[in-house]
């Protein structure tokens, strides 16, 4: 019997159906690949800038969206990646830090993140710096999902309306879940009015419930976009199960390779800050097998990667007028001033505290560790130099405090947890601060901020129990601080208002508010001294830490 195909076209849908059944089975058997480009703590750094870690002049240009776009486009154009899902994810703090993001109240970042195609981003504490109302307004323009499960409105008990607790994506038969979290410390490290009406909850129980739900629904791989900080991520994976990858931020940590930690050996990635690096994470998924995860850390050097022409033109449009204003000459420095290791001394902190004290003719002044954002580099100093050090619109406030109240404040500042520096800490200190260091460093985070003084020398022993660590507090001439005497103490209004855990300062009623921006005090101070010839003398003496400047 002869069989004749009378209508070949009629068989096309039939073969298509067979193909559609076979192809997913092949994919599930051979697996599929995800390629994730990750950033965090961009802080408005939309364009390339001089590499802060390079000691040679002129320092090479690094960072910016035009460079990142070129790198991602090259990845997409590679035939080897034709079947991979390529995504860009960010772990928060894209607002605050540069003149352009400050002027636009974050809008410039939303614009670039829309243009480059962010797949998802979580919230960082600095997204709230221009007020919650501003954040909600800017997020109306976002074309990417904002993922955050632990920031809720107190009035409704629900996540903020512009954010989803989690997201599920599909690729070639696999499901990928993305959960986002912000640091629960946000209220203590933000201006109170900017986070009023919001509840920043502990993320662990919330994430565990979501992870369990996603796994039960057949999600193959769960990513946590974390704005908790590196140390907190290490603690997080000891408590929460079911997270396959953490992409972290907040602490500005730069990891050159994956770190695995916790009972599930969870891989953790941190990609630095200021859009100077991106982590390229490759994930091979196969049904019934453990994911294979690899990571490459890419420094975004202009000379090596090049600039996307269109993005470079958009950057220039945003920056043209601001650059003229920021280029105004203030003075010169013969030395590099770095913030330094938390728990140690800070030449830059001392210089900034001196500027604050001078601006209001106070007896003493203090600046918090988190209030110093970028170094003051050797060479010409202009308005932009001052802005990058102090991008916040904090004003100077004067508190009339007794010596006993000052002692109490300083005990709190040195009573956080201290830990031995490991090799990564030592390498970081050498790379970013040109300091050879060893000993006990202070952990960033609660309960209190770390303070740098003007017109005081402070000696402490972090090996002692908290609130009993001060050994000596004295003026430069070795006269001790008098517990009964009142002193005019200048602070930024964030600390004076109880920020960084110093809520006890809110009880001091004898105070004077000024309209002087800390940034403008720094500008005036540089203009007055004209030339910084040497680093300020050492003022913070940690008896368990050795520090040696090598530049």
Q: How many helices and strands in the chain, by DSSP H and E? A: 15, 31
The token duo for 448 is: 């209190």
Residue 373: helix, strand or coil by DSSP?
Answer: coil
pLDDT band at residue 30, thresholds of 50, 70 and 90?
low
Quote the pTM value. 0.89
Rounded CA gap, 358 and 456, in Å? 14
Residue 69 has pLDDT above 70, yes or no: yes
Secondary structure E strands in 493-550: 511-517, 531-532, 540-542, 545-549
Rounded CA gap, 341 and 52, in Å? 16
Residue 513 has pLDDT above 60, yes or no: yes
78 HSE (CA, 13 A, CB side): 12
Q: What 3 state SS string does 461-507 have?
A: CCCCCCCCCEEEEECCCCCECCCCCEEEEEEEHHHHCCHHHCHHHHH
Residue 107 has pLDDT above 50, yes or no: yes
pLDDT band at residue 57, thresholds of 50, 70 and 90?
confident
The token duo for 77 is: 């154009």
Helix extents (H) in 347-458: 347-360, 383-389, 403-413, 423-433
* Predicted local confidence at residue 23, as pLDDT: 41
Helices 65-77/107-116 angle, 10° precision? 10
Rounded CA gap, 161 and 187, in Å? 19
- The residues with which 480 forms a beta bridge, in sequence order, are 474
Nearest to 164 by CA among 145, 142, 181: 145
Q: What is the DSSP letter of 159?
A: B
Rounded CA gap, 409 and 451, in Å? 9
Q: What is the DSSP letter of 171?
A: E
Residue 47 has pLDDT above 60, yes or no: yes
Rounded CA gap, 311 and 111, in Å? 11
List all residues 6 or more positions away from 149 whose beta carbon is below 8 Å from its beta carbon.
Answer: 159, 165, 166, 179, 180, 181, 203, 206, 207, 210
Residue pair 167/147 in contact (Cβ under 8 Å)? The answer is yes
Residue 380: helix, strand or coil by DSSP?
Answer: strand
Residue pair 175/218 in contact (Cβ under 8 Å)? The answer is yes
Tell me the pLDDT tens digit for each residue of 167-194.
Answer: 999 999 999 999 999 999 999 999 999 9
Choice between 153 and 19, residue whose per-residue pLDDT is larger: 153
CA distances from 414 to 190, 277, 408, 458, 491 (A): 20, 32, 10, 10, 17
Residue pair 326/384 in contact (Cβ under 8 Å)? The answer is yes
Q: What 3 state SS string does 179-205 have?
A: EEEECCCHHHHCCHHHHCCEEECCHHH
Residue 523 — φ and ψ, nearest 5°?
-60, -45
The mean pLDDT value for 488-494 works out to: 98
Residue 362 has pLDDT above 70, yes or no: yes
Q: What angle do CA 359, 452, 543 make, to 5 degrees?
A: 150
Instruction: Work out whether the CA dihedral 402, 405, 409, 411 comes out positive or negative.
Output: positive
Residue 20 has pLDDT above 60, yes or no: no
Question: How many Cβ atoms are within 10 Å of 299's Cβ, its own excluded?
Answer: 17
Residue 12 has pLDDT above 70, yes or no: no
Rounded CA gap, 136 and 151, in Å? 13
The mean pLDDT value for 30-43 works out to: 94
Tell me the pLDDT tens digit for each residue of 363-401.
Answer: 999 999 999 999 999 999 999 999 999 999 999 999 999
The token duo for 141 is: 């323009």
Q: What is the CA radius of gyration of the chain?
A: 26
Q: What is the DSSP letter of 92?
A: S
* Predicted local confidence at residue 55, as pLDDT: 80
Tell me the pLDDT tens digit for each residue of 427-458.
Answer: 999 999 999 999 999 988 788 999 999 999 99
The mean pLDDT value for 345-358 works out to: 98
CA distances from 504 to 186, 446, 495, 522 (A): 18, 15, 10, 27
In the chain, what are the domains? 29-317 (3.60.21.10), 329-549 (3.90.780.10)
Tell me the pLDDT tens digit for each residue of 253-271.
Answer: 999 999 999 999 999 999 9
């Amino acid at each position: 019997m002869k069989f004749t195909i009378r209508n070949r076209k009629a068989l096309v849908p039939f073969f298509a159906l067979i193909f559609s059944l076979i192809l997913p089975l092949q994919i599930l058997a051979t697996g599929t690949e995800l390629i994730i480009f990750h950033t965090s703590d961009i802080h408005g750094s939309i364009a390339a800038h001089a590499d802060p870690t390079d000691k040679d002049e002129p320092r090479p240009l690094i960072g910016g969206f035009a460079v990142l776009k070129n790198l991602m486009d090259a990845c997409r154009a590679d035939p080897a990646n034709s079947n991979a899902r390529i995504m860009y994810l960010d772990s928060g703090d894209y607002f605050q830090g540069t003149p352009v993001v400050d002027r636009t109240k974050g809008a410039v970042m939303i614009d670039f993140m829309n243009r480059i195609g962010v797949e998802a981003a979580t919230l960082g504490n600095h997204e709230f710096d221009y007020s919650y109302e501003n954040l909600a307004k800017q997020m109306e323009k976002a074309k990417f999902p904002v993922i955050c499960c632990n920031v809720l409105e107190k009035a409704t008990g629900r996540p903020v309306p512009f954010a989803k607790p989690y997201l599920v994506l599909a690729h070639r038969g696999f499901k990928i879940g993305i959960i986002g979290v912000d640091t629960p410390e946000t209220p203590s490290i933000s201006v109170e009015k900017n986070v009023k009406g919001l509840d920043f909850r502990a993320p662990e129980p919330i994430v565990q419930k979501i992870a369990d739900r996603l796994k039960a629904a057949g999600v193959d791989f769960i990513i946590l976009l974390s704005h908790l900080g590196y140390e907190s991520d290490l603690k997080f994976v000891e408590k929460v199960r079911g997270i396959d990858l953490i992409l972290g931020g907040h602490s500005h940590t730069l990891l050159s390779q994956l770190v695995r930690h916790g009972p599930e050996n969870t891989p953790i990635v941190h990609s630095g800050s200021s859009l100077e690096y991106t982590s390229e994470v490759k994930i091979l998924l196969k049904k019934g097998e453990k994911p294979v995860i690899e990571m490459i850390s890419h420094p975004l050097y202009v000379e090596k990667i090049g600039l996307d022409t269109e993005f470079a033109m958009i950057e220039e449009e945003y920056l043209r007028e601001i650059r003229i204003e920021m280029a105004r000459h203030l003075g010169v420095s013969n030395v590099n001033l770095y913030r330094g290791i938390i728990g140690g001394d800070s030449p830059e902190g001392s210089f900034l505290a001196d500027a604050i004290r001078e601006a209001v003719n106070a007896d003493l002044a203090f600046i918090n560790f988190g209030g110093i954002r970028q170094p003051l580099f050797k060479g010409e100093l202009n308005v932009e130099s001052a802005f990058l050090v102090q991008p916040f619109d904090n004003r100077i406030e004067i508190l009339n405090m007794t010596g006993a109240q000052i002692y109490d404040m300083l005990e709190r500042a040195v009573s956080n947890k201290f830990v031995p520096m490991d090799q990564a800490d030592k390498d970081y200190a050498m790379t970013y601060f040109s300091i050879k260091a060893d000993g006990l460093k202070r952990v960033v985070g609660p309960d209190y901020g770390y303070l740098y003084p003007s017109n005081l020398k402070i000696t402490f022993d972090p090996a002692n129990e908290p609130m009993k660590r001060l050994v000596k507090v004295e003026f430069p001439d070795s006269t001790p601080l008098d517990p009964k005497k009142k002193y005019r103490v200048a602070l930024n209004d964030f600390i004076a208002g109880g920020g960084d855990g110093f809520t006890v300062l809110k009880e001091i009623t004898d105070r004077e508010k000024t309209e002087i921006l800390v940034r403008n005090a720094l500008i005036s101070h540089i203009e007055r001294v004209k030339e910084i010839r040497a680093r300020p003398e050492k003022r913070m003496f940690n008896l368990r830490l050795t520090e040696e400047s090598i530049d």
